[in-house]
Amino acid sequence: LAPAAIVYIIVSSAVGDATFTTQTPAHALMLASAGVVTAVPLLLFAAAAASVPLSRLGVFFYLSPTLQFLVGALIQHEPVTTTRLVGFGLVWVALAVFTADSVASHRQRQLALAAEAAAA
C-alpha cells in the first residue's frame, strides 16, 4: 500500500488538503508511525496465537466484545435494550454449549487412552 499512500500524499498536498506536509514534523512522524503502532501488536498476537489451540483461542475472541459490552452498559451507562440482551445471552449460551461439548470430548479421549493403556 505504500505506493498508493505516496500517491495520495502527493495529490492531497497538491490540492491543499494534506496535513502530512503542512503540519509540524511531529505530526508527520505520528502519521508515519501509525502503521507500526498498529502492526506490532497484531504481529505479536499472531505469534502468540500459533502456540494456543484453536478451540481455546476461539474462546478468547469472545472476551473483547464481552468486555466492550460490559464497559458500555456498566461504566458508560449506554442503554441496554432487550434485543441486545437476547443477542448477548444467545452468544454466551452457544459458548457454554461449545465448552461443555469440548470438555466432554476431552474426557472421552482421556478415558479411551486410559482403557488402551490398561489393556496393554
Region of poorest pLDDT, from 9-23, 43-57, 59-73:
9-23
E runs forming strands in the chain: none
Residue 17: the pLDDT is: 80
pLDDT of residue 75: 96
Q: Report whether pLDDT(92) > 80.
A: yes
Checking 50-56 for CB contacts under 8 A at 24+ apart, the result is: 55/102
DSSP state of 66: H
* pLDDT confidence of residue 43: 94
pLDDT given at position 94 = 85
Q: What is the rounded CA–CA span in Å between residue 46 and residue 51? A: 9
* Distance separating alpha carbons of residues 23 and 52, to the nearest angstrom: 44
Does residue 71 carry a pLDDT above 90? yes
Q: What's 79's DSSP letter?
A: -
